[in-house]
């Protein structure tokens, strides 16, 4: 699992690119040096809350948006393939147990 600094850095890079900003432009808008922005995006810097607030302001977003990381987004097709692959490896006894567990899950469409 990736650490929080890497996840946050990826999110900041994603948001910066969505806004069409270079690291230099975001640095200027955030009142931070562009090399610092690069370090944050690579997960090398441990940002203070004040620094995150500056970056959010530079991106013209709410600071909460920085924490809506891509790791919270699920690729449903990938997930189904992973589950299917695991099911195909199960023994008959494990398949029966899985069937019983699935009965306990309240699936609503």
CB 10 within 8 A of CB 41: yes
| 26 pLDDT more than 60 | yes
Distance of CA 68 to the CA centre of its chain: 7
Q: Where are the domains of the chain?
A: 4-72, 74-109
- pTM recorded for the entire structure: 0.63
Domain 4-72 belongs to what topology?
434 Repressor (Amino-terminal Domain) (1.10.260)
pLDDT at 56: 96
CB 2 within 8 A of CB 71: yes
CB 43 within 8 A of CB 5: yes
* pLDDT per position as a tens digit, 39-91: 999 999 999 999 999 999 999 999 988 987 555 566 778 888 989 999 999 99
């Amino acid at each position: 699992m990736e650490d929080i600094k890497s996840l946050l850095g990826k999110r900041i890079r994603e948001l910066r690119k969505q806004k069409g900003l270079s690291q230099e432009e975001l640095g200027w808008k955030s009142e931070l040096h562009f090399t610092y922005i690069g370090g944050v995006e690579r997960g090398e810097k441990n940002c203070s809350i004040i620094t995150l607030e500056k970056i959010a302001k530079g991106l013209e977003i709410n600071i909460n948006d920085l924490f809506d990381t891509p790791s919270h987004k699920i690729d449903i097709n990938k997930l189904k393939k992973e589950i299917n692959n695991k099911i195909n490896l199960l023994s008959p006894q494990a398949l029966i147990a899985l069937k019983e567990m699935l009965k306990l899950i309240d699936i609503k469409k």
